[in-house]
Amino acid sequence: MEMHLAPGLRRARMLTSFTARIVRPASMLADGEDTVCLMMKTNGHMALTQGHQEGVPESGDGVLLVYREPARLQFVDATYVSVRVPFTAISTLSPDAAAAAGRRIPCDTEALSLLRNYVMNLPDRIKDPQLGRLSATHVYDLIALAIGATNDGREIAKQRGVRAARLEAIKADFIQNVTMGIERIAKRQGISSRYVQMLFEESGTTFSEFVLERRLDVARRMLTSPRYKTWSVTAIALEAGFADISHFNRSFKRRYLMTPSDMRAHDNSSGLPD
């Protein structure tokens, strides 16, 4: 198990290699633990019975555990990521949160898809206390949307958590293929190109600046890797997504204060970061 903590938020990754039943009867509720836990299954078997519902999630699905109610859980060789937050943080946006206890949330639910991606990078973000608090708020928003928020709660969540999580998803998608342009990114995310641009502008940068920085980083890594020692600088530039080699050379020198060829001349012992 690995766990990361921030004020109002606990994120855990569980790897269970055994069969277990965890029962939380009414007699245990006197501990004052008033949280909810959204568990997102990766593999194995998981079942949660709470209230009048039994959730048996498939891979990628989520299921909500409400700690103020008795519950029965079963895990068989299960792996999952969970986020645990105060009940009141969710009920503010979703007053019927308790009614969602034990309900399976399908993997293709938009808010759940965004949340799955968003929590992947939570460990890095919550190292900063301010970012940790902000990230917790975004998680509250996404959980509330996944289980069903009020009209007002939905609008609040869309302006906060959804926008932040969508930006993270765009960045993660682009990093997997740095040759993609904004139109393709937007289509893959199911949004408009203008919305992509707006999300970056709200974060204090632009899509073009983000793309340039990521592509330069890819090129730098390739130039300093023995794996690509037989590749020409032009081939590396094209692989990193640069169609204009002159633009690549100028941008590279401006960013790293040396030409691509000069950087390649340095061996791995020169102290360049990976």
Q: Residue 187 above 90 pLDDT?
A: yes
Judged by DSSP in three states, 93 sits in coil
Number of domains the chain contains: 2
Q: Residue 141 above 90 pLDDT?
A: yes
pLDDT tier for residue 26 given thresholds of 50, 70 and 90:
low
pLDDT tier for residue 29 given thresholds of 50, 70 and 90:
low
Residues 50 and 56: their CA atoms lie apart, in Å, by 12
Residues 6+ apart with CB under 8 A from 118: 135, 138, 139, 142, 164, 165, 168, 169
pTM of the model: 0.80
The answer on 135 and 215 residing in a single domain is no
- % of the chain with per-residue pLDDT over 70: 91
Q: Which domain holds residue 250?
A: 208-270
CATH number at residue 108: 2.60.120.10
Task: For strands 2-6 and 9-15, give the pairing.
Answer: antiparallel
The answer on 215 and 189 residing in a single domain is no
The answer on 72 and 159 residing in a single domain is yes
Residues 149 and 37: their CA atoms lie apart, in Å, by 16
Least confident of 15-24, 52-61, 156-165: 15-24
Residues 181 and 192: their CA atoms lie apart, in Å, by 13
The residues pairing with 48 across neighbouring beta strands, listed in sequence order, are 55, 73
Q: What is the mean pLDDT of residues 128-152?
A: 92
